[in-house]
Structure 1
């Protein structure tokens, strides 16, 4: 089968031919219908050799959807031909977090060597993918997998962060979204769908700010030295009740610290490497800072339900698997509007 793999440190992804995998006991094989590209993939591929821990070759794709193609021994409750999204943050299934469906916060995954598909385990950017357990499948029903596959990360991750800040998103509140690319443009829609907050979108790109306006942002601000002052002006000097940083680079984190309101929330979602000092004389009184990771299985179900009622839509660029390296290059250079999806 064809697969998109990272095979050598310092080099980009390649399309290769590898054997089609067979499901073992308890496993499910999906014929992949869609696989999303993510900046996290480039984060992994940009790591130096001494920091890289994901194994080589690595089949990419932690955003995946497919149709059940073959069942391993002992699998029940799942039928060949059914369409599913893959819940990506796999855990042990037994700890307290996993018992609540929060495998994204599994306390034992690292010690047991459990890794997400595309981030250690073979991912979905291939013609077939193995899912380790049926609990990691979420039914798609009639949803178009190409249109919604990105929601398994680009929807779930912002949803998890936004739901944690829901108490701050009452009517009359203000939410700032820093970075309105793949995750951020979905985040804008989620805030609009579940709250009465005014949304201020911030980015360096006029095109991405235009997309933010299209999907529901009330105001847009160009990221730069004047951004914090403009946001303060838009909020009447009070600042933002909740700030969601989907870039995580130092300039956006600095903006977040400058614009968060007293008793507000900052959620650093992006993995850009920036750091935020917090405490007296650094952040306002009562302000909290959080670094959320992915989301729970039940939250993925809720995100897909938002898609079913068309409250959330992902702007998708489609690519055949042969053009995946080109799609990754466009993503790396910031040329993707919304999310890129490979269709094997």
Structure 2
């Protein structure tokens, strides 16, 4: 199953009289066409908004049902309107329409004498809208929306594949950094143990010093043990490896994995922070910083996945 991004765009048009809902360029007697656009960006949940023309608003529930059946997350905006076909002249108003508009204007000016007269452009627009009132766009709107949703899902799938490839690449880099960190801890413990032994030998040479050789040796061993415990990052590296394996499994599985991946990225960041806080050498600090940079890049991209 594919991984889907929440970012995408699609559009579709329909002219009355075309041979199918997907055909474009066919001219109808009304000189109008239906245009529909769908845009989506990332969001924690599915957030739908509609901007529909007056003649299409009654079809919003059907559009909402269609989209929620296919899209689960994202801020989705749907725009649809009936407009004049590109390149066509304005529809010529009939005499009856002109008489009706004139009568309506006279009625308005009776109550609102200061109201402005209708302009030629406004008359043509109202006449065109009146001429289109008989067109039922319901079936055509749903067919056009179905095609646009399919195109949107295809765009989100392509973007999701790109993000999945990037995430898998970052997982490989994190595994490489973890492998670099593993041998550092034993080396550091051994170096510190040698230092403690040197201090113990110095204490033995004191002879009449305030601390007996046995007490000095016990303290050196205690400090060495405490240091080893303090810088031991084996548990963090083990948990980090488990999180990386789970992230890779989810990406390859696909589907609605965005929320689970977001949680796992937070866990990765926690382990990288702990690794840095236990660092006793510049090399281990560098590994922790490099990990956090990669994890932050992954977090930004995971938030775009459905």
Whether TM-score is above 0.5 comes out as no
- Which TM-score applies when normalising by structure 1? 0.22
Task: Select the structure that is richer in helix.
Answer: 2
Task: Select the structure that is richer in strand.
Answer: 1
Larger-Rg structure: 2
